[in-house]
Amino acid sequence: MKHSLGFIAIFMVENRIQRYKILPIFLPHQGCPHQCVFCDQNTITGNTAKISIKWVRRQIVEFGLKSDFNHSSHTFKEVAFYGSSFTAMPASLQRSLLRPASEALERGHIDGIRLSTRPDYCDHMTIELLKEFHVKTVEVGVQSMDTDVLRRSGRGHRREESVRALKTLKREGFITGVQLMPGLPGEDMDSFLSTIREVISLNPTFVRLYPTIVIKGTPLEGLYQKGLYQPLSLEQAIDRCKRAVILFRKAGIRVIRCGIQPTPSLQKKGSICIGPFHPAFGELVESSIMFDQVNLVLKEISLSSDPMESIFIRSSLKRFSILKGQKGANLQRLKSLYPRRKIFMNQDTTLPDDLIRVSNESGNHWDIQKTYAIKALK
């Protein structure tokens, strides 16, 4: 029996390396009271086997007892229950799944427990159960704040339930996350941006953006085949997510993922009928944001300098592939927009990761920071 197991993220905290390791336990469709038109969790997660409580306990124990990767730094270990409406499952099953994670937490073998659920299953009794087992983070499948979009998508809840759930979870001290799906049936740009504004007003800790794709065998495939639904193109999805990322960052809300995780089953030929799926979707979004930033500066330079003067664009090694774009797409686009200029992109190890430097032959330079992304969006 195959199950998907942990991944590792490494990031800087207070000038030292902090390692972050997650044990994801996928529970496809568990507790889901509705058939959303877009959903086939077995294909998305690649897990078709029935979850065994015994297996879950064994994996959590083994995960918690594994030593840190580097004794000089702490590894933040978290058990995460994904792919289900966790709090919609019977309370007895929730307890069976949470108990081994809670025991590992109490022993100091892990540092956190997170789960995902629906907004209409976050009542008082549910929250008390989560607090009993020391759950820290709850991700809420909001998907949209447009009640008509939710109805067309078969979600079975309204925006009011999402508002109430997020406010209640925050009030009770949980770290809150929001999952959104750009491109759902009935959504347009105005509807999507309205959803973004309302989510920002609720101030979750983080957001995930999953552009809607049409998976084979789902009700959404039927709507598509009948001509009743048209998914976003890849370019439209990038543009929509780009706008969301910029607005969330401006509000101080982290976007921890753009795009569906490219599992082997999802990438299997025939699994996706149509839709804006790309294994590096998040990088495409970041690259598009960076292109807008650089292009804004080049427009400003062109108003005040020789149009044939060479331009040099530099970034840190870490950000260079995003600056240049996949297969050099950003560089080629800039060259086509400014055909009289020679444009060069180079790595600069002296620059911090959050800064791009544009300079000309005269020795003038312009530093691009996050505020440019907001200007470029207008």
State the CATH number of the domain containing residue 345.
3.40.30
Same structural domain for residues 101 and 137?
A: yes
Is 1 contained in some domain?
no
Count of domains observed in the chain: 2
Residue appearing with tokens 């925006």 = 159
Same structural domain for residues 243 and 361?
A: no
Same structural domain for residues 315 and 180?
A: no
Are the C-beta atoms of residues 85 and 34 closer than 8 Å to each other?
no
Same structural domain for residues 22 and 146?
A: yes
Distance CA 94, CA 210 (A): 26
**Domain endpoint, select from 251, 278, 305:** 278
**Domain endpoint, select from 278, 308, 343:** 278
Same structural domain for residues 268 and 309?
A: no
Same structural domain for residues 228 and 356?
A: no
Distance CA 24, CA 3 (A): 9
| Structural domain containing residue 290 | 286-377
The reported pTM is 0.85
Same structural domain for residues 81 and 136?
A: yes
**Domain endpoint, select from 230, 261, 278:** 278
Question: Which structure tokens are listed for 213?
Answer: 């794709």
pLDDT 10s digit of each residue in the chain, 378 long? 333 333 333 333 333 344 678 898 988 766 566 667 777 654 444 444 466 788 888 889 888 877 554 444 567 899 999 877 899 999 999 999 999 999 999 999 999 999 999 999 999 999 999 999 999 999 999 999 999 999 998 888 899 999 999 999 999 999 999 999 999 999 999 999 999 999 999 999 999 999 999 998 899 999 999 999 999 999 999 999 999 999 999 999 999 999 988 777 677 777 888 999 999 999 999 999 999 999 999 998 887 777 788 999 999 999 999 999 999 999 999 999 999 999 999 999 999 988 999 998 888 888 988 655 656 655
Same structural domain for residues 121 and 188?
A: yes
